[in-house]
Amino acid sequence: MLTLEALQANDGDCFLLHSDRGPKSALILVDGGAAGVYRDVIEKRLDQLRGTRPGLELRMVVVSHIDADHITGILDMFKQMTESCDDGDEPKWKVASLWHNSFEDVVGAHSASPQTARVVAAVAGRVDLTELQANGLTDEKALAVVASVKQGKDLRGFAKRLKTTINRETRGRLIVAPRSGLLEIRVTDDLVFKVIGPRQQQLDGLQRQWQESKAQHTTNESAVAADYLNRTVPNLSSIVFLVEQKGIGQQPTRILMTGDAGGDLILKGLEDANLLDEYGRIHLEILKVQHHGSNHSVSEEFFRRVLANAYVISGNGKHGIPHIDTLKWLSRARSEEPIDVYMTNRHLKDRGNDLTKGLDDFLALEESEEPGHRYHFREESELSIKVSINAS
């Protein structure tokens, strides 16, 4: 059985992937939500899974990208593990491999990036965001990622002290989809991760993006850095991977983990990996809807091409997401087809504004017009909501 468990991560992402096949079993944590999520949710859930055992082994921890609402809980987890070791105690959790593409490795993938002190400062986590914003750093994802650079560096430091191998499956290199073909990571005998993004072609484009930024801002070093970061970060910010578990005599069951990647980049990655059919589509058991259901990262066309039996959305309404537009696009794309949608939050709020009525109105319309669309919500008293796939 393959289970995707969406933990209550507030406005962030946090998922446990359970592959329950006896000796082939594996537990994988993908992202850790924002501040407080580790203490309030992750630690409690892992303690439940640990039971009376002295420790719990996680086959892998994946940080899709360095953004506070994805990485902070993982950083808190590794910090606690390190403090246990410093106190002479065994950590409650043991992590075999940490997937983390560091910002400095990504932007350092070409020779030009060190030529500006501002980019170097961003890599070192010493960036003055106010200055970069004043000089044109406006992309929301770029701001969030640059602001979290120091968190990424701290996480790698904790991992090294714990002797947790970073990107073990690629021998320490970036987790990136190749220019051609497919990167497959075998997690257990019957569980494979296929890396969809970021794509090597995007890394190859860093030099061109750098030159374009320099040409537009010939005298202002900070403006060059801001423009370059606007161009670079959104395209490279998420590890996207397809989870496949083989069934006996069946097609593999599949889950697509998307982080905050844009729908166009996901589709391009699927196309480059030859995972789309003759109609340009793919069918999954579960789609983790990217960027918490933001209408900036998905479209109705995306839902027409990436088809799933179940859709999982993590978000509590902050920044207005999940957007009702996204739910409407999904509904129209799968009109008159049976689907299940799983959401971590039934009540949505943004800066004190209650957005729940918009969701109420949408659900009422769905009930009358699309009875085959079933919506499931995490119970308020529960730490998570689960979607299970039975495979032979």
Lowest mean pLDDT segment, chosen from 170-174, 199-203, 249-253: 249-253
Checking if the pLDDT of 391 tops 60, the result is no
pLDDT attached to residue 32: 98
| Cα(308)–Cα(326) distance, integer angstroms | 15
Checking if the pLDDT of 311 tops 80, the result is yes
pLDDT attached to residue 127: 67
Write the pLDDT tens digit of every residue in 94-144. 999 999 998 878 776 555 555 566 666 666 667 678 888 888 888 887 888
**Which structural domain, as residue segments, surrounds residue 64?**
2-389
Structure tokens at 196: 């969809």
Strand residue runs (E) in 314-356: 339-343, 349-350, 353-354
| Cα(243)–Cα(254) distance, integer angstroms | 5
Number of domains in the chain: 1
Q: What is the mean pLDDT of residues 13-19?
A: 97
pLDDT attached to residue 242: 98
Look up the CATH number of the domain holding residue 377: 3.60.15.10
pLDDT attached to residue 226: 85
Checking if the pLDDT of 225 tops 90, the result is no
Q: What is the mean pLDDT of residues 45-53?
A: 96
For 124-150, the three-class secondary structure string (H helix, E strand, C coil) is HCCCCHHHHHHCCCCCHHHHHHHHCHH
| Cα(26)–Cα(76) distance, integer angstroms | 22
